[in-house]
């Protein structure tokens, strides 16, 4: 029984180490036909839960449904276009100094790389 508890603690600490890599501010840009649009993220992981905000032309927006699974993250952002909600689903892989993400905007995938902000 004691050995099982030691393993459980080790697994929880290992997950926490990966999750903490996502904490902080990240910045990048999305290429559009009208030019590059800067985006920022502020993430905070608490175990398997990811919270934070994203910033862009509409200001700071809270992320929802945030999850951390090892080095993988996922979350949702809902934008308001004059009363019409637009939900964007994000999935990403966290590395030491960058996160490679794919956004799903109405079924269209868009790739995005953000770098850890200084």
Whole-number pLDDT of residue 5 = 44
Residue 44: give the domain boundaries: 2-116
CA gap 52, 75 in Å, rounded: 10
Chain-centre distance for alpha carbon 57: 18
CA gap 91, 25 in Å, rounded: 17
User: What's the predicted TM-score (pTM) here?
Assistant: 0.78
Whole-number pLDDT of residue 59 = 82
| Consecutive 10-residue averages of pLDDT for the chain (118 residues) | 42 44 93 88 96 86 96 94 91 94 92 91
Whole-number pLDDT of residue 22 = 94
The C-alpha angle 87, 89, 93, rounded to 5 degrees, equals 160
CA gap 97, 77 in Å, rounded: 23
In the chain, count of helices (H) and strands (E)?
A: 1, 9
Number of domains in the chain: 1
For position 86, which CATH number holds?
2.40.128.120
């Amino acid at each position: 029984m004691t050995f099982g508890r030691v393993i459980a603690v080790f697994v929880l600490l290992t997950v926490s180490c990966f999750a903490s890599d996502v904490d902080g501010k990240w910045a990048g840009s999305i290429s559009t036909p009208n030019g590059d649009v800067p985006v920022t993220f502020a993430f905070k992981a608490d175990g398997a839960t990811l919270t934070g905000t994203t910033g862009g032309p509409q200001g700071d927006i809270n992320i929802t449904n945030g999850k951390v699974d090892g080095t993988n993250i996922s979350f949702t952002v809902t934008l308001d276009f004059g009363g019409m909600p637009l939900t964007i689903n994000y999935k990403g892989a966290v590395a030491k100094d960058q996160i490679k993400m794919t956004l799903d905007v109405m079924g269209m995938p868009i790739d995005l790389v953000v770098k850890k902000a200084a």
